[in-house]
Amino acid sequence: MMLKRIALVTGGIGGIGTAVCMELVNQGRLVIAGHIPEEEEVAELWQSELQADGYAVELAAGDVADYDSAGKMIERITTRFGTIQILVNCAGITRDAFLAKMDPDDWNAVINTNLNSVFNVTRQVIPGMMAAGFGRIVNISSVNGQKGQFGQTNYSAAKAGMHGFTMALAQEGARKGVTVNSVSPGYVETRMTAAVNKDILNAIIKTIPMGRLATTREIAQVVGFLCLDETSYVTGANLPVNGGLYMS
């Protein structure tokens, strides 16, 4: 019988985060969805809706862009449940603009939320994983971290940095039973893409060889694969899930 390992999914109440939480529950994990404190009411509604569908997911509030706030969140989790053994860094935002017109606040917001958060959370869970001799860390990067994207220097830089972090930490964790990998989704059916102008969205879809967006479940299943106990010899890898949009 698979152990009830403790999994934290940052940005867990978002589109991809929700699907990842559900996938990990299906694996038999004790799953905790991280969210910013300002979204407490939204998170509680999200939790009740998942519960009605048969998915029991705990909640943890914290600002992962802030080291101390992330640390307090992790401390509360470990005090209540024990050592975090699976971490999915899924928190992310966009603040798109041409670099010539990008406000420094928009640069910093994206770097802090999408990249610095990976350090802020992972730094505070990796010692427990190494001491336990088991850990699974999956960082949600992006196709745009691989190929770049017009108007997204901040986002592309952050997502590319996530995989650099992944490869370096994978080497540190390899002999301790801790695997570190990244997943790079292409365009996915989420609230964010639903808000895009239909003509623009259709133009994007035409560039995807599969001719459609990914579902959040398709992303989550790849993340789930990397979180399995049995996936113990895959580390430092980046798995693209982009429908053939970018091949390397």
If the chain, 248 residues long, is cut into consecutive pieces of 10 residues, what is the mean pLDDT of each piece? 83 97 98 98 98 98 98 98 98 95 97 98 98 98 94 96 98 98 96 82 94 97 98 98 95
pLDDT of residue 87: 98
pLDDT of residue 197: 83
DSSP alpha helix (H) spans, the chain: 15-26, 40-52, 67-80, 104-110, 117-132, 143-147, 153-173, 191-194, 198-206, 216-227
Spatial separation of the C-alpha atoms in residues 97 and 153, rounded to whole Å: 8
Task: Give Cβ neighbours of residue 23 (< 8 Å, ≥ 6 apart).
Answer: 217, 220, 221, 223, 224
Of 67, 155, 187, 246, the catalytic one is 155
- Which one is the CATH code of 6-239: 3.30.420.10, 3.30.1360.30, 3.30.420.40, 3.40.50.720? 3.40.50.720
**DSSP 3-state of 7:** strand
Judging by beta carbons within 10 Å of its beta carbon (0-12, 13-18, 19+), is residue 68 exposed, middle or buried? exposed
Spatial separation of the C-alpha atoms in residues 128 and 83, rounded to whole Å: 6
pLDDT of residue 90: 98
For residues 109 and 91, is the Cβ–Cβ distance under 8 A? Answer: no
Q: CA 99 from chain center: how many Å?
A: 25
Spatial separation of the C-alpha atoms in residues 29 and 19, rounded to whole Å: 14
pLDDT of residue 1: 46
Q: Which amino acid is at 211?
A: G
Query: pTM for the whole thing?
Result: 0.96
Distance of CA 12 to CAs 60, 125, 140, Å?
9, 17, 12
Spatial separation of the C-alpha atoms in residues 183 and 234, rounded to whole Å: 12
Sheet holding 178-185, edge to edge: 58-61, 30-35, 6-9, 86-89, 135-140, 178-185, 238-241
pLDDT of residue 196: 79
Residue 246: active-site member: no
Spatial separation of the C-alpha atoms in residues 236 and 211, rounded to whole Å: 30
